[in-house]
Amino acid sequence: MPVARNHMSRDLLTVSRDAPLGETAQRMVDRDVGAVLVMEGAELVGILTERDVLRAVAAGIQDETVVSDWMTRDPDTMSPDDTTQHAAVLMIHGGFRHMPLVEGDEVVGMLSIRDLMRVVLDNAAPRGV
C-alpha cells in the first residue's frame, strides 16, 4: 500500500491567523492551491480551505476580516508514513479534502483528494487512448 509521504505536496502555503482573508485568498489563487496552513510560529493552529473562503464571501467579508475568523481550528493530521488508504478513509469520513502531514510537531506536507486520485489512477489511461 502506498504511503502518503510519496504523494504529498512539500511546497506548502502558510499564513498567520491574523493575515487578512482577502490577501490570503489571493495568495491561494496565485499558487493554485485549495488550502493554506495557518501557523503560529512552527505550530499548526488551523487550516483555511476554498470552502472556508466561499463561506466567508457568502457571509459578506469585510476589509478587517482575518483568517482566524473562518479557519478550521486544530485540523486532523496524520503521519506521512500512514497509507494513502488511511488518508482516504479519514478524509471521506471527515468530509474534508486536505490533510496536513506531521512528524512530531513539524508539518512536513499536505495530501489532497487530488493527490489520492492520482494514486488510484496511476496506471489508468483515458478512454480511447
Can you give the pLDDT at residue 23?
97
43 DSSP β-pair partners = 40
Residue ranges per structural domain of the chain: 4-120
C-beta of residue 36 within 8 angstroms of C-beta of residue 27: yes
Helix, coil or strand: residue 106: strand
Q: In the CATH hierarchy, which top-level class contains the domain 4-120?
A: alpha beta
Q: Hey, what's the cell of 90?
A: 479519514
The pLDDT of residue 128: 58
pLDDT for 121: 82
* 10-residue averages of pLDDT along the chain (129 residues): 92 97 97 97 96 95 94 96 95 95 95 91 66
Q: 0.75 exceeded by the pTM?
A: yes
| Runs of H (alpha helix) within the chain | 21-31, 50-59, 84-94, 113-120
Distance, in Å, from the CA atom of 50 to the CA atom of 24, rounded to the nearest integer, reads: 11
Residue 115 near residue 59 (C-beta atoms within 8 A):
no
Query: Which of 121, 98, 71 is closest to 8 using CA atoms?
Result: 98
